[in-house]
Amino acid sequence: MQPIDRTLAGQLPAVTPGDAVRLAGHVHRRRELAAVTFLVLRDHTGLAQVVVKPADGQEVPPEETPVEVVGIATASSQAPGGVEVTSPVVTALSGPAHTPPVELWRPEIAAGLPTLLDHAPVTWRHPAVRARWEVAAASLRGFRATLDSAGFTEVHSPKIVDSATESGANVFEIDYFGRPAYLAQSPQFYKQQLVGVFERVYEVGPVFRAEPHDTVRHLAEYVSLDVELGFVRDHRDVLSVLREVVAGMRAGIETHAARAVERLGHDLPVVPEEIPVIHFAEALELVGAPEDEPDLAPEHERALGAWARQTYGSDFLAVEGYPMRKRPFYTHPQPGDERWSNSFDLLFRGLELVTGGQRLHRLADYEEAIRARGEEPAAYASYLQAFAHGMPPHGGFALGLERWVARLVGAANIREVTLFPRDLHRLTP
């Protein structure tokens, strides 16, 4: 007999009743009634119902056991999608699974965050939990599709670096063949150098922060979506690309994770044709903060988010012009008033999601900026090569994947949307 091709759960509703099918997946739910046992099978496309009668002579193994089911597709108004499988032959593909730490078959997972995280290899199987990452993966598809079609080149920069120069603090030290090295806090220096090569670059990869605080928003390792482009007029050109990227990520989710969005029950954000922009100085005024505040406090960001929603119908607001003294040394000042910078934060529903801006591009400006913070340009020799040999006006931004998804799905803690989070206390699973 020819083996029957596998039918995915999501395909079952389209099978002609009476046809033989072969399903494969985990036992999601085993419900034993007096006259019948329901086996709900879960694969990566959804759930399928299998009806096991005593006359079938089949054992249904415990929940989470991987099984193959060969049976007959049968119309049933009770079954999800209108088709179930009857007269099954059920074959366990491993020994019986141990009882999971939480009941994965319940519509909502009933467990606290520590349980979810300690048992991540299993708790991610819950469809509502898995949906969170499906949103992340679909966002990545949208991110890359947008940039690929705009002539960007994907790059991969080293994560082991020789110095902690970008910020100096919160870096992890490595034993690198007997000498010290560090884990990169961002691909910032590399993506800038690569603008000299490819003009427009992006990178999706891990970044590392030895973040000594235990907060709901910070991780020691997260996925950073980095973009950098050359021949810009100023940071507004960067903001235009960011708008396209955010719209593309939203489109990616709509196209590739519609089922996950429906399950999560959250509205996708409104991305306006043009993201409204407010200057930092005006933002302070709007929220009633003193005009010498160097940064926006979380409550200011929330107030600005509400204001943007009300005024522009937008879930996004860019705040430009942050004070130079609070931005990294490579930040380009605002022409005409060097207290301010050509940099921005993008607030998403009142929370900082992206930081970006225009960078310095002239060698002399770098040398001056480095000396102004009491350092010697020689310490940055390898980075400064790119500027010595000609770099165009450029800028870019970085967006944390987990922070984006947390905000989209309404997660209170960023760890809920991270596959295997790393923080001050957690190094496993």
Shorter beta-carbon distance to its own copies: residue 40 or 181: 181
Q: Which stretch binds its own copies (CB under 8 A): 73-81, 119-127, 318-326, 369-377?
A: 119-127
Q: Which residues contact 107 (CB under 8 A, 6 or more apart)?
A: 128
Neighbouring CB atoms inside 10 A of 176's CB total 12
94 binds its own copies (CB under 8 A): yes
Shorter beta-carbon distance to its own copies: residue 151 or 298: 151
Nearest to 302 by CA among 347, 238, 361, 249: 347
Nearest to 184 by CA among 215, 165, 204, 159: 159
167 binds its own copies (CB under 8 A): no
Among 4, 6, 36, 216, binds its own copies (CB under 8 A): 6
Shorter beta-carbon distance to its own copies: residue 174 or 268: 174
Radius of gyration of the chain (CA): 26
- At residue 151, the 3 state secondary structure works out as coil
Among 72, 97, 277, 289, binds its own copies (CB under 8 A): 97
Q: Which stretch binds its own copies (CB under 8 A): 176-184, 239-247, 269-277, 339-347?
A: 176-184
Give the strand pairing for 316-320 and 343-348: antiparallel
Please, are residues 394 and 230 in contact by the beta-carbon 8 Å criterion? yes
375 binds its own copies (CB under 8 A): no
Minimum Å gap between C-beta 228 and its own copies is: 13
358 binds its own copies (CB under 8 A): no
Q: Which stretch binds its own copies (CB under 8 A): 13-21, 315-323, 334-342, 355-363?
A: 355-363
Say which amino acid occupies 353. L
Site for its own copies in 26-55 (CB under 8 A): 26-27, 43-45
The response to whether 217 counts as a known ligand-binding position is yes
98 binds its own copies (CB under 8 A): yes
Among 50, 181, 251, 308, binds its own copies (CB under 8 A): 181
Measure the CA–CA gap between 118 and 102, rounded to whole angstroms.
11
Minimum Å gap between C-beta 198 and its own copies is: 6
The response to whether 116 counts as a known ligand-binding position is no
Minimum Å gap between C-beta 391 and its own copies is: 6
119 binds its own copies (CB under 8 A): yes
161 binds its own copies (CB under 8 A): yes
List of long-range contacts for 128-134, beta carbons under 8 Å, 24+ apart:
128/263, 128/264, 130/260, 131/257, 131/259, 131/260, 131/261, 131/263, 131/264, 131/409, 132/260, 132/264, 132/405, 132/409, 132/411, 132/416, 132/417, 133/405, 133/417, 133/419, 134/256, 134/257, 134/259, 134/260
106 binds its own copies (CB under 8 A): no
113 binds its own copies (CB under 8 A): no
Minimum Å gap between C-beta 379 and its own copies is: 12
Among 177, 288, 290, 310, binds its own copies (CB under 8 A): 177
How many alpha carbons lie under 13 Å from residue 114 in its C-beta half-sphere? Answer: 1
